[in-house]
Structure 1
Amino acid sequence: MNPTRIALVGDRSTAVRAHEQIPRIVSAYDDVDLHWLPTDQLVPGEASAFDGVWVVPGSPYADEARVVEAIRDARTDGTPLLGTCGGYQHMVLEFARTVVGVDAHHAESRGAREAAPSSTALITELACSLKGHSGQIDVVPGSRAVAALGEQSFERFHCSFGLTAADAEPLVAAGLVVSARSPEGEPRVVELPGEAFWLGTAFQPELADTQPHPVIDAFVVAARHRARGRRAVAVGVADRAAGR
């Protein structure tokens, strides 16, 4: 069986519970191979050579610029992309920089205090930290998120930084979909319209009691579809080369 290859973009650490959980969760899929890609060793185009890219929690990353580049490559190539917690935050950052054209930065990132005066802190410290908290999210009907979560879900968070409703407005105007919010209206899940799987969650599905979490399962399904498509293309090329 040809495996479905998923890249985990992040700096693996035993101190990050999600990093310990991910291999256990994915062991439920006998056709999935995981490959950790440390952020300071990322090579341009490397991540999108996989069938799926999962940008995992654990920010600030050793090399934010390479993470954002990997996210951009996956998005523009149509590679299934999942970002959880810090990964979600950097997916938002990439969209703001590349699509909206905003010189945005993450307030937690290394060197953020030295950012140019014109740079906007798009991912900021939350007024009420979600670290270690669980909470309700309300999901938009018709979205990719609602297909996995239903119209209301209760999720576990582990973050102190995020995107506010006010800062999301110009991104939404440029095509970003905020597909789930807190009861107070703050963004909790973002996605992009279209066939390609592109989903970011402020919560950590890795910490759910029941696994695989529906968001993880939806991502794996998308990666499998990508893998099948690539194999079909490879077989077609081989057949043409052999004159079949």
Structure 2
Amino acid sequence: MKYILVTGGVISGIGKGVVSSSCGTLLKSMGFRVTAIKIDPYINIDASLFSPYEHGEVFVLDDGGEVDLDLGNYERFLDIKLHRDNNITTGKIYRQVIERERRGDYLGKTVQIIPHITNEIMDWVLRVAKIPVDEHGSGKIGDEPEICIIELGGTIGDIEGMPFVEAFRQFARKVGPENFCCVHVSLVPKPKATGELKTKPTQVSVKELRALGLSPDLIICRSEEAINAEVREKISNYCHVECEQVICLSDQSSIYRVPLELEKQGLIKYFYQKFQLPNAMPIPPRGFLYKWKKLAERHDNMNKTITIALVGKYTRLEDSYASVIKSLQHSALAINRKLIISYIEGTNLEEATKESQPKQYYDSWKALCEANGLIVPGGFGDRGIEGKILAIKHAREKKIPFLGVCLGYQCAVLELCRNVLNMRDAESHEQNKDSPNAVIIEMPEHTNCDLGGTMRVGRRETIFVIKGGIIHKLYGNVDRIYERHRHRYEVNPEMVPKLESAGMMFVGRDTTGERMEIMELKDHPYFVGVQFHPEYTSRPLKPSPPYYGLLLAAANKLTTYLAGKSNDFPGEGSTTTSTNTSDTDVSEGESTDNCCKS
């Protein structure tokens, strides 16, 4: 087993997650089995209770793990499915050690950071790195991984991360230098006042790393523009690495360019030398990396645009909807359109805002009216709910393509009750627990205890009970699908007959038939709601069917596509399949009309 540790210096948020994913992508393109681990030094047990403004979205795994959004990057780039234990937090480590101490496992010894915490970290990594991953989302568990990418969150020098740095100092000695590689990602800024690239922040962060016992094997310099040979030589000299071990990663036109840029600068060659990998270094001319290159070129050469309005609650921070945005981008790439997202705060569409902040109100409605499609994603709480319902009413009446996810789906049900069934007092238990006319109810199994770990979360089965509709066709006419959930509330099954009489068909239900999983509105070009979160399983080369349908409808291509006449996704060699059915490789030159049907 080979291990690659990715650390960061100077500031957080400079792309460690994308670098980690890109390293894995390159190694996977060479035929290696790759897995990934994200370490978050915070004390929280997991990310389930984070505010999206605090740490971005909460990413959900098949096994119900609520984890850091970087694991979403790993899954999308590597096309694998990970487990909750692939996300390590300080809270998890300390809980494990304390439980062992209470059981008497330490035989009465004083429990300390070294060796007990550091040993637990090393044992956790060694255990998780060997867990086989689900390749390509096929449901088939492969062999034990050969390479493990480990991203250490935060920056070197953070007090929270000290036990992890010490653990990896010991870990590097334990597995040997031929099995361990430290990749340090650091910022090389260019202040406007001087107009020159500054290497001192990188020098300091590398010095700090070395002082803690870890020597970087590779230094990846993040900068706005390419670093010249002189700057590269300076970093090499002061940081005690060869010039070939200093890699420049300037801002790229898209994240799809990052693996290609790293490959161009010899990253694969270095890994082969560092890890003493057997065999000659293969470069498949039309393999996975070739598909990735075509994807990057496709992204850079799109001329036509498409605008999607995203009406939500956390629109000030894009990372709050990271997977939603990625899913929209995957689908836009598939129909050869440059995506423009209009972020609209739900409260800005409400009448109260019209009185207090008229400019925001009219600007928001203008953006909504000019959009080609509307998505209302998931969320929690009651802020902005009325604005979301107004936006959905607009989409329904004006025949604008609409996708509601989780809370957005529930808002669509509320909108129909209020404005078509004339149930003006229709509400959700989430907004009003005492509502006498609750259309959205709390799940029976949810108890009023701690919030953490009380949701219906993870991979669940949905059965198509009504076949032949748009969403059923987008999923390839299968009988059942498996998607990831994260919710506490659901549509009141007693209301279903009334809703169906108004044209809202619940085409997908859970295995009991009591939970309404997929909704589709009659006599509308595309009005779909899903209780699950299909964005979690979308891939760059395999867009999520509900999102793909939204973009097709917004581009006026859905009817043609469903008729089997579309030729919108010719991407040579692309693997284009439903997110939840068996993969089918489309060989070069074949039509990919059935992008989400195979």
The verdict on a shared fold, with TM-score over 0.5 as the criterion, is: yes
What does 1:1-244 align with in structure 2 at a 5 Å threshold? 1-12=303-314, 19-28=321-330, 29=333, 30-42=337-349, 43=361, 45-46=365-366, 47-102=368-423, 103-109=425-431, 112-113=432-433, 119-128=436-445, 131-139=456-464, 140-149=466-475, 150-185=478-513, 186-208=515-537, 210=539, 211-225=542-556
Shift of 1:195: 4.1
Aligned-pair distance for 1:40?
Answer: 1.3
- Equivalent residue of 2:457, what SS? coil
Segments of 4+ moved more than 4 angstroms: 13-18
Distance 2:549 2:493 in 1: 26
Determine the C-alpha separation between the residues in 2 that align with 1:193 and 1:214: 19
Aligned partner of 1:39: which letter? G
User: 1:238: which partner in 2?
Assistant: none
Gap change, CA 1:179 and 1:21, over 3 Å in 2: same
| TM-score, with length taken from structure 2 | 0.35
List per-residue Cα deviations over 1:140-199 (Å, max 9, x = no partner): 211122112232101110111010322212111222101100111121111111242100
Letter in 1 for 2:533: Q
C-alpha deviation, 1:223, in angstroms: 0.8
CA RMSD of aligned residues (A): 2.4
Q: CA deviation at 1:63?
A: 2.0
SS in 2 for 1:35: strand
Say whether the 8 Å CA contact 1:4–1:33 is kept in structure 2: yes
CA gap 1:171/1:216 in 2 versus in 1, 3 angstroms: same
TM-score (norm 1): 0.82
Match of 2:261 in 1: none
Give the number of the structure with larger relative contact order, counting CA–CA contacts within 8 Å between residues 6 or more apart.
1
Unmatched tracts of structure 2, length 5 or more: 1-302, 350-360, 447-454, 558-598
- What are the Cα deviations for residues 26-81 of structure 1, in whole angstroms up to 9, with x where unaligned? 33324221111111122474424310000011132422211111110110000001
Structure 1's 14 and 49: CA in aligned 2 closer, same or farther, altered over 3 A?
closer
Q: How many residues align?
A: 221
Q: Is the 8 A contact 1:56 1:83 kept in 2?
A: yes
Question: Secondary structure in 2 aligned to 1:19?
Answer: helix
Shift of 1:114: 7.0
8 Å Cα contact 1:190/1:201 also seen in 2? yes
Amino acid at match of 2:339: V
Q: Could you say what secondary structure the match of 1:135 adopts?
A: strand
Name the aligned partner's letter for residue 148 of structure 1: L
Deviation at 1:94, TM superposition (A): 0.2
Note the alpha carbon deviations across 1:113-164, whole angstroms, 9 max, x for none. 575xxx5111011124653222111112111221122321011101110103
Find the aligned partners of 2:379 and 2:402 in 1 and give their Cα distance: 17
Change (3 A) 1:155 1:32: same
Measure, in 2, the Cα distance between the counterparts of 1:36 and 1:223.
17
Distance (whole Å) between structure 2 residues aligned to residue 136 and residue 8 of structure 1: 27
How far apart are residue 104 of structure 1 and its match? 0.4
Q: What is the DSSP-based 3-state SS (H/G/I as helix, E as strand, rest coil) of the residue aligned with 1:27? A: helix
Q: Aligned partners of 2:319 and 2:485: how far apart in 1?
A: 12
- Structure number, greater radius of gyration: 2
SS at match of 1:134: strand
Secondary structure at the residue paired with 2:463?
A: strand
184-193 or 39-48, which moves further after superposition? 39-48
Contact preservation (8 Å) 1:18, 1:57: no
What is the CA-CA distance between 1:2 and the residue it aligns to? 3.9
Deviation for aligned residue 1:209? 5.5
Q: Which amino acid aligns with 1:36?
A: Y
Deviation of 1:202 (Å) = 0.3
- Which moves more between the two structures, 16-25 or 185-194? 16-25
Any conservation in 2 of the 1:80–1:197 contact (CA below 8 Å)?
yes
1:177–1:7 Cα change, 3 Å? same
2:486 alignment partner, SS class:
coil
- Equivalent residue letter for 1:69: L
Q: CA 1:183/1:97 → structure 2, altered by over 3 Å: closer, same or farther?
A: same
Structure 1 residue runs without a partner (length 5+): 227-244
Counterpart in 1 of 2:449?
Answer: none
1:146 partner letter? H
Any conservation in 1 of the 2:401–2:553 contact (CA below 8 Å)?
yes
Deviation at 1:25, TM superposition (A): 2.6
* SS of residue paired to 2:487: coil
